[in-house]
Structure 1
Amino acid sequence: MPKGFLDATSVYPMRFLDGRVNPGLVHLNRVIDNPNIEIGAYTYASSFEPPEDWALRLAPYTFAGAPERLVIGRFGQIADRVRIITASSNHPMAGISTYPFAIFDHDRLAGYFAQMTDLPDTVIGHDVWLGDGVTVLPGARIGCGVIVGAGSVVRGALPDYCIAAGNPARVIRMRFAPDQIARLMAVGWWDWPVEAIARATPALARGDVEALAAMAPG
């Protein structure tokens, strides 16, 4: 296996051909430490203007102790300017005004948060590619193997292995036939040992589902 290939411990997993580290591409679980954000191994984000705080750039409303979680699977690919707006971005809406008076008077915060219950988690599956400028709205559920086109706004649920685009994002087509998708989900290559994944990269780059399945370890 090539040196440094699929190194889950690396903050900056990509190098340019001249050997320089690309500071604009990071493994997110190496740079985000937030109990409300769960990110699988090898999921990366890229930015042409790398931030000091990747959590703030990607999911600015997901504060530690929030009543909901953001869960992102393994081997995700998150392009520049993606923004994930989680449910804590909302203001309580049951009253006459939605103005957040409590954020200016911390003595009122307990009552404010008491109005924000049962907020939905936002869940993004394994091997998902979010294109440049995608916005993910609160409570979205994005399946595994999904590709979301640049500039799209995702709400609700997107099924495994679809290509979606638009505002709101709608399924343009499925990447594989239903039986192939079921097979891919059963194979779950993203959970294989890293050595097996390294051997399977030629198969992963092709559309031959059975060839990949034949390489499953054990």
Structure 2
Amino acid sequence: MQAPFLDASLRHPITLPDGQVYPNTVWLDQVIDHPNFEIGAFSYYNDFEPVDDYAARIAPYLHPGAPERLCIGRFVQIAHGARFITSSADHPKNWFTTYPFAIFNHDVMPLFAEEFATGGDTVIGHDVWIGHGAMILPGVTLGNGVIVGAGAVVTKDAPAFSVVAGNPARVVRQRFPDPVGALLEALAWWDMPPEEIREILPVLASADITALERLVAGRG
């Protein structure tokens, strides 16, 4: 029997040509069970070092019960060393001190409770590629199809289908003209079952705008 195009149930989804399972890459939704994470299917993380706790590896400051969430869409690709610095890592910026005293002595928590509860969610769209060693700072939203360059420090939102790089990261370019981005958003292939994605893969794995237009029109 032929293997499925994509198997969402696997922990390690890559098999090497010699038949060995590649241990460094995981489907994130198969290895993270955390109340503050929301992870779409087929989103993967790759690490060249052993990992005991994938949630702590990619988002080390996000603890169960924290006020913020990390929302990762479907088909997101996260390279080795990428980190999400979520809002719980933040310190008071407008006070006379930035020191988080309440972490070390809970008696003074009432002074810090309101500030600590203000964290915003970090939201990663579908089909986003986050490069090696990139860092996503608190409360950032990355639109669908964003590419984050290796080593980038992303401090603010990035629009769909943009390429961001640098420290602080800035938009280097848009991957496609706006009409093409609109077609991809209308198609929303990331929401399709894997079998349907396999059928349209000749278009997805191309830059044929005419074929994309026909595909979207045919599904409309």
CA RMSD of aligned residues (A): 1.9
1:209 Cα deviation from its structure 2 partner: 4.0
Match of 1:140 in 2: 140
The Cα offsets for residues 11-51 of structure 1, whole Å up to 9 and x where unpaired, read as 11111111111111000011111111111000000011131
Query: Is 1:183 matched up with 2:183?
Result: yes
TM-score calculated relative to the size of structure 1: 0.92
Segments of 5+ residues of structure 2 without an aligned counterpart are none
- Asked if residue 122 in structure 1 is aligned to residue 116 in structure 2, the reply is no
* Alignment check: 8 A CA contact 1:148 1:163 kept: yes
Cα deviation per residue 1:87-144 (whole Å; 9 max; x = unaligned)?
1101234543222222223444455333223321111100000010100011111110
- Native 8 Å contact 1:136 1:155 kept in 2: yes
Does the alignment pair 1:173 with 2:166?
Answer: no
Corresponding residue of 1:47: 47
- Do residues 38 (structure 1) and 30 (structure 2) align? no
State the secondary structure of the residue aligned to 1:157.
coil
The gaps in structure 1 that reach 5 residues or longer are none
Local SS of the residue matching 2:164: strand
Stretch moving more, 138-147 or 198-207 = 198-207
Distance in 2 between residues matched to 1:209 and 1:145, nearest whole Å: 16
Whether 1:27 and 2:27 are equivalent positions in the alignment is yes
Instruction: Give the alignment of 1:38-187 within 5 angstroms.
Output: 38-109=38-109, 111-187=111-187
1:71/1:16 Cα in 2 relative to 1: closer, same or farther (>3 Å)?
A: same
Q: Quote the residue 1:207 is aligned against.
A: 207
**TM-score normalised by structure 2 residue count:** 0.91
Contact 1:200 1:212 in 2 (8 A): no
Percent sequence identity over aligned pairs: 50
